[in-house]
Amino acid sequence: MDKNMPEPDAYSAKIKQAHPEAIESVVDFRGERTLVIKQEFLRDVCLLLRDDEDLRFNYLEDIVADDMLPEYPRFAVNYHMCSTINKHTVRLRVPVDDPDDGPETVASVWPIASWLEMEVWDLMGITFKGNDQLRRLFLPEDWQGHPLRKDYPLGYEEVQFSFNWELIDAKKPYAKD
Amino acid sequence: MGLEQKLGNMGVVTARLEDAVNWGRTNSMWPILFGLACCAIEMMSMQASHYDASRFGMELMRPSPRQSDLMIVAGRVSRKMAPVLRRLYDQMAEPKWVIAMGDCASCGGIFNNYAIVQGVDEIVPVDVYVAGCPPRPEALIDGIMTLHEKIRGESMKDWA
Amino acid sequence: MTDGASPGENDRPIPASDIVHELTVEELRAKYGSGLVITSEDNMLLSMGPQHPSTHGVLRLLVELDGETVVNLAPDIGFLHTGVEKTMESKTYTKALVMTDRLDYLAPLSNNLGYVMAVEKLLDVEPPPRAQVIRLILTELTRIASHLVWLGTHALDIAAMTVFLYTFREREYLLDIFEMCAGQRMMASFFRPGGLWRDVPEEFVPAVRNFLEFFPAKIADYEALLKRNPIFLDRTKGVGTISADDAIAWGLSGPSLRGSGVDWDIRKAYPYMGYEEYEFDVPVGEKGDIYDRYWCRMLEMRESLKLVEQALDRLPDGPVTIDDWKIVPPPRSELGRSMEAVIHHFKIWTEGFKAPEGFVFQRIESPRGEFACYLRGDGSPKPARVHFRTPSYVNLASLPLMGKGVFIADLVAIIGSIDIVLGEIDR
């Protein structure tokens, strides 16, 4: 339960003042506040959140990408941030329709974002405009595909029980040297 | 290695020679520093003073593959790490042995997915598998003792 | 550099993509983009490769050296990528818990706590008071265990080998305590959604009290070896500094952030699990060099001892799991008596409990910094998306800042001081 949340409309009011069409909706679930922001306004909203004297969100905690396959829009990028000065927290959620045309990078607002966006691109495939450091971080350089997407297979090997032991053993590539 | 070829199968002399060489090989095996993940911490616990590995001659863990003869693959091997593992194994000088420590090295462990090699025996030939997640230091020592027994049973035909 | 194996020697040909080949400067520049800008052709590019005695796991650093001075560096990670997040999506909530231990394998109960608290937040249940206090005790003991390993390996990198042997000796005592509760030394998975796996045995409280008695003398031992040691001071004071503003902008957290003078601890800022009722201080450094980070962690060990003592004094009696059999399996004694218990037991162990739709983000203070778990449920018994915000991944981004202009031997000390665990980084 976030005890440090300010009044319900404090952030929304400031953002509505500056960018009236930015907020799509506000979700309150289990004591956490989520602002669903349209993709075009993301960087401006982040700048406002970081620089406004009452809000001062100077600490970007995490960028999480979500794949909700049967639903539309398919992807969503969550930005979790907090303020070390006022101890507020908020989550911005940006629905992304086309993964190759993702939101603009917020690396100019918080430098750590370039590193966090690298992970999102590597595993989920959402390209952030303006971030030229998007490269394979976790996977080998020549890997095709983005594993965390829902349509990417888990890639597991069939478990060897006693009834299919020889069958799988014959196909398993053992090192011979 | 020419001595064994010249002596051939001369009975008592070669048996004694086998014993001596095998004894020498087991009593000061130097492992290569190859701790990858959680099993590495238990391997370090084995090196520390509580479960002393120094009594087996293994207090030196050499980072260089040229100077070591035992590779304890401790931890999960991902697909990116697999070529590195193979390269290090190839750089080790004969005689060399491999212990697959833990479930992830033996069979992929709890991670049955795209990123983990399902058992390090797909990459290097393994002599001893030690089960556990992570195996206790005593289990690893048991694995090392099993390897010692295996080496003591080797004859001249297996060497070269 | 000669290659150890040529492709023709093995029976099975190695595909070209499997061979790690040497890259020229142009190829590196093309591949790594502006992450690693090679400033001059005269500098040497060194790959402190994945197998290295001091990189605390399989971390590869591409270091551009001008003689012995580091001009630029870029971390190359992914050698331990396990696909934990994807694998957890195919397992039920309880089965996925086992994987969280293996992320930050030096503080496994702390990862358990982050995930279990996220699940409980999603389900909107709160564990009983006895479970909360025992969780706090075990989490703080895990913090001490993790700092002991950090101290041992950090001192080992700076060539103080005795500290390594001492700290692992103390750690064995803590591992005995974990084994007494959960049956496993390291990967305990003791915290479950709804409380704990089972109640702690009777030897737990005397064992912890015994630990509280002898441990302060041991911390004094470690300090006697390091605190006034001129070699240690020379290697750590003034080296690897990072300013407070840089640290916040780059998302540093935990003792690394507090060493730079920022008073930010999740246990104080967003208290959870009852931390607001205990009295403890948060040590804050000044200059942000290696020595301050070391000092923060040593003081944190003492603060954890204080917390454990307070928690032991107020350990209440009562159940350790909530009373809802839809989430927590019923005790085995009930299975013989009640049909309801059998049905719930069956449903939980085959299908698992269903979580409501929605997403939560739970942050805790792990020994390395801010550990957070993003969990999205979609009404099914398996999590739809799990993501861990691990402190080591984010702390590693500050390494290029701290490492510019130092000698390569100092780089080894800096890596040790930000206390990274590769299992956490690569997930």
Distance separating alpha carbons of residues C272 and C117, to the nearest angstrom: 9
DSSP letter string over B107-139? H-TT--STTB-S-GGGTS--SEEE-SSSPPHHH
Tens digit of pLDDT for each residue in A102-155?
Answer: 888 888 888 888 888 888 988 888 888 887 778 888 888 888 888 888 888 887
pLDDT at C139 > cutoff 90: yes
Task: Summarize the confidence of residues C385-408 as an average pLDDT.
Answer: 88
* B11 confidence band (pLDDT: 50, 70, 90): low
Q: What is the pLDDT of residue C9?
A: 36
Rounded to the nearest angstrom, the minimum Cα separation between B71 and chain A is 15
Q: Which range, of C85-89, C225-229, C296-300, averages the lowest pLDDT? A: C225-229
* CB within 8 Å: C121 and A30: yes
Task: Summarize the confidence of residues C397-423 as an average pLDDT.
Answer: 86
Mutate to test the interface with B, among A136, A149, A157 (most CBs of B within 10 A): A157
**Which among C148, C400, C418 has a CA at the least distance from the CA of C259?**
C418
Contacts of B91 in chain C (CB under 8 A): 4-5
Rounded to the nearest angstrom, the minimum Cα separation between B112 and chain A is 5
Distance separating alpha carbons of residues C177 and C138, to the nearest angstrom: 9
Mutate to test the interface with C, among A77, A112, A121, A176 (most CBs of C within 10 A): A112
pLDDT at C350 > cutoff 80: yes
Top pLDDT among C334 and C164 is at: C164
User: Of all helices (H) and strands (E), which one includes residue B94?
Assistant: none
Distance separating alpha carbons of residues A11 and A19, to the nearest angstrom: 12
Q: Which range, of A10-14, C151-155, C211-215, averages the lowest pLDDT? A: A10-14
Task: Answer for the pair C414, C290: CB distance below 8 angstroms, yes or no.
Answer: yes
Query: Would an 8 Å CB–CB cutoff place C376 in contact with chain A?
Result: yes
* CB within 8 Å: A58 and C249: yes
**Which among C387, A139, C301, C187 has a CA at the least distance from the CA of B37?**
C187
Q: What is the pLDDT of residue C19?
A: 39
pLDDT at C426 > cutoff 80: yes
Task: Summarize the confidence of residues C408-427 as an average pLDDT.
Answer: 87
Chains that touch B (3 or more CB pairs under 8 A): A, C
Contacts of B125 in chain A (CB under 8 A): 174-177
Tally Cβ neighbours within 10 Å of residue A116.
24
DSSP state of A145: S
Task: Answer for the pair C364, C114: CB distance below 8 angstroms, yes or no.
Answer: yes
Of B114, B121, B123, the CB nearest to A155: B114
* C20 confidence band (pLDDT: 50, 70, 90): very low
Q: Which range, of B156-160, C51-55, C128-132, C198-202, averages the lowest pLDDT? A: B156-160
* C365 confidence band (pLDDT: 50, 70, 90): very high
Tally Cβ neighbours within 10 Å of residue C204.
18
pLDDT at C322 > cutoff 60: yes
* C5 confidence band (pLDDT: 50, 70, 90): very low
Distance separating alpha carbons of residues B5 and B156, to the nearest angstrom: 9
Q: How far is CA A104 from the centre of its chain?
A: 13
Q: Which range, of B59-73, B125-139, B144-158, C38-52, averages the lowest pLDDT? A: C38-52
Backbone angles phi and psi of A67, in degrees to 5: -120, 115
Instruction: Give residues 75 to 94 of C whose Cβ lies within 8 Å of B.
Output: 78-84, 86-87
* CB within 8 Å: C99 and B86: no
pLDDT at C134 > cutoff 90: yes
Pairing of strands C191-192, C195-196: antiparallel
Contacts of C186 in chain B (CB under 8 A): 38, 41-42, 134
Q: What is the pLDDT of residue C3?
A: 36
Distance separating alpha carbons of residues C143 and C109, to the nearest angstrom: 9
Task: Summarize the confidence of residues C110-126 as an average pLDDT.
Answer: 91
pLDDT at C14 > cutoff 80: no
Whole-prediction pTM value? 0.88
* C228 confidence band (pLDDT: 50, 70, 90): confident
* CB within 8 Å: A30 and C270: no
Of A4, A111, A154, the CB nearest to C270: A4
Of B36, B87, B111, the CB nearest to C83: B111
Task: Answer for the pair B138, B2: CB distance below 8 angstroms, yes or no.
Answer: no
Residue count of chain A? 177
Query: Would an 8 Å CB–CB cutoff place B84 in contact with chain A?
Result: no
Task: Summarize the confidence of residues B3-8 as an average pLDDT.
Answer: 58
Q: What is the pLDDT of residue B2?
A: 59
Q: What is the pLDDT of residue C36?
A: 57
Distance separating alpha carbons of residues A76 and A71, to the nearest angstrom: 11
Q: How many helices (H) and strands (E) does chain B have?
A: 7, 4
User: What residue in A sits closest to B126 (Cα-Cα)?
Assistant: A175
Q: What is the pLDDT of residue C38?
A: 63
Q: What is the pLDDT of residue C17?
A: 43
Task: Summarize the confidence of residues B108-128 as an average pLDDT.
Answer: 87
* CB within 8 Å: A176 and B125: yes
Average pLDDT, chain A: 82
Of B114, B118, B122, the CB nearest to A154: B114
The percentage of chain C sitting over the pLDDT mark of 70, rounded to a whole number, equals: 90
Mutate to test the interface with C, among A59, A86, A150 (most CBs of C within 10 A): A59
Of B45, B81, B114, the CB nearest to C168: B45
* CB within 8 Å: B36 and C49: no
Task: Summarize the confidence of residues C374-385 as an average pLDDT.
Answer: 90
SS (H, E, C) chain C: CCCCCCCCCCCCCCCHHHCCCCCCHHHHHHHHHHHCCCCCCCCEEEEECCCCCCCCCCCEEEEEEECCEEEEEEEECCCCCCCHHHHHCCCCHHHHHHHHHCCCCCCHHHHHHHHHHHHHHHHCCCCCHHHHHHHHHHHHHHHHHHHHHHHHHHHHHCCCHHHHHHHHHHHHHHHHHHHHHHCCCCCCCCEECCEECCCCCCCHHHHHHHHHHHHHHHHHHHHHHHCCCHHHHHHHCCCCCCCHHHHHHCCCCCHHHHHCCCCCCHHHHCCCCCHHHCCCCCCCCCCCCHHHHHHHHHHHHHHHHHHHHHHHHCCCCCCCECCCCCCCCCCHHHHCCCHHHHHHHHHHHHCCCCCCCEEEEEEEEECCEEEEEEEEECCCCCCCEEEEECHHHHHHCCHHHHHCCCEHHHHHHHHHHCCCCHHHHHC
pLDDT at C33 > cutoff 80: no
Q: Between the CA atoms of C334, C335, C339 and C341, what dihedral angle is there, to the nearest 10 degrees?
A: 70
Task: Summarize the confidence of residues C66-81 as an average pLDDT.
Answer: 85
Task: Summarize the confidence of residues A162-170 as an average pLDDT.
Answer: 82
Distance separating alpha carbons of residues C106 and B27, to the nearest angstrom: 31
User: What residue in A sits closest to C9 (Cα-Cα)?
Assistant: A177
